Amino acid sequence: MPRRSGEFKRWALHTMRVYHLSEAQHALSNIALGRIKISRFADLNDPFELLGADLRNSELRKVFRETKGELHKNNGLICFSQSWENPVLWSHYADKHRGICLGFDVPDDLPKPVIYTPHPLKVAHSEKRSLPKITEDFMNSLLRTKFIDWRYENEVRLFVGLDHKTAESGLYFYSFSKNFSLREVILGPRCDLPIRSVRKLVDGFEPAAHVVKSRVAFTKFKVVENRVAIRTKA
């Protein structure tokens, strides 16, 4: 029986279950190649990424934009949700519910929860020349800060360095492994792929990856497991 989505999942080796939604063709490619694409900071859909601070000072804006550019060159991230039940996630990230969600078990000290806030962060200044004082703690917060209206994503982030030798047409990928283990494949409510064919694709994964079909709930605004579809199409 597949494990239910929801809050962080913690198992024997202190892992958590996290979820990544995408178009079906991208998810199938990820499964077949055993990897997932790494996102870049300048390409994310939130224009406030790494700029979520009070930047009314023009000199400070310049510093932050240069910092964002430097981070973009050599660092990336993979964005996950702590749950796959929110229908807005499927609408925005999984091709209007026609896509697929992949659930991974990862060490629970790696993904970092996003900080949702109604106001930009305040930047401390040094006493000399009013220069910005950007500490390591501040940067760690800035990397995870988003406007509060993004909170429906319930996001955690896995930050990774980029190996430029492995880039493929400017794209970077993160391979499946014991510390990044595919455990669930959830077909969206409007995904027309046969469950049987997707199960064949994950056949041989160790540990096993569960494939389920989802549907919209009957009594609440959620996406849930369609157990009838699993029984009739298995």
Q: Does residue 204 belong to any structural domain of this protein?
A: yes
Range from 9-23, 101-115, 197-211 carrying the lowest mean pLDDT:
9-23
Give the whole-angstrom CA distance, residue 18 versus residue 146. 19
Provide the pLDDT confidence category of residue 18 given band limits of 50, 70 and 90: very high
Q: Does residue 144 belong to any structural domain of this protein?
A: yes
- Nearest in space to 188 (alpha carbons), one of 27, 37, 33, 39: 27
Give the whole-angstrom CA distance, residue 119 versus residue 116. 9
Range from 94-103, 174-183, 184-193, 221-230 carrying the lowest mean pLDDT:
221-230
Q: Other C-beta atoms within 10 Å of 221: how many?
A: 10
* Contact between residue 68 and residue 77 where contact means Cβ atoms under 8 Å apart: no
Provide the pLDDT confidence category of residue 12 given band limits of 50, 70 and 90: very low
Provide the pLDDT confidence category of residue 218 given band limits of 50, 70 and 90: very high
Global pTM? 0.89
Q: Does residue 8 belong to any structural domain of this protein?
A: no
Predicted pLDDT at 131: 64
Predicted confidence (pLDDT) per residue in 169-181, tens digit: 999 999 999 999 9
Number of domains present in the structure of the chain? 1
Helices of type H across the chain:
24-33, 58-74, 87-93, 136-142, 195-202, 227-233
Predicted confidence (pLDDT) per residue in 34-64, tens digit: 999 999 999 999 999 999 999 998 988 998 9
Give the whole-angstrom CA distance, residue 96 versus residue 9. 26
Give the whole-angstrom CA distance, residue 108 versus residue 195. 30
Q: Does residue 165 belong to any structural domain of this protein?
A: yes
Output phi, psi for 89, to 5 deg: -60, -45
Q: Does residue 3 belong to any structural domain of this protein?
A: no
Q: Does residue 10 belong to any structural domain of this protein?
A: no
Domain that holds residue 71: 15-233
Predicted confidence (pLDDT) per residue in 184-201, tens digit: 999 999 999 999 999 999
Who has greater pLDDT, 126 or 217?
Answer: 217
Give the whole-angstrom CA distance, residue 191 versus residue 46. 27
* Contact between residue 28 and residue 202 where contact means Cβ atoms under 8 Å apart: no
Provide the pLDDT confidence category of residue 234 given band limits of 50, 70 and 90: very low
* Contact between residue 233 and residue 187 where contact means Cβ atoms under 8 Å apart: no
Helices of type H across 8-160:
24-33, 58-74, 87-93, 136-142
Question: Strands, DSSP E only, in the chain?
Answer: 15-22, 35-37, 75-81, 100-107, 112-113, 115-117, 145-147, 155-161, 173-175, 181-187, 210-216, 223-225
Predicted pLDDT at 128: 61
Q: Does residue 192 belong to any structural domain of this protein?
A: yes
Q: Does residue 67 belong to any structural domain of this protein?
A: yes
Q: What contacts 219, CB < 8 A, 6 or more positions away?
A: none
Write down the residue that tokens 């760690």 correspond to.
140
Q: What is the distance between the terminal CA atoms of the chain, rounded to a whole angstrom?
A: 13
31-58 in b/e form (b: 16+ CB < 10 A) is: beeebbbbbbbeeeeeeebbbbbebeee
Tell whether the model's pLDDT for residue 232 goes beyond 60. no
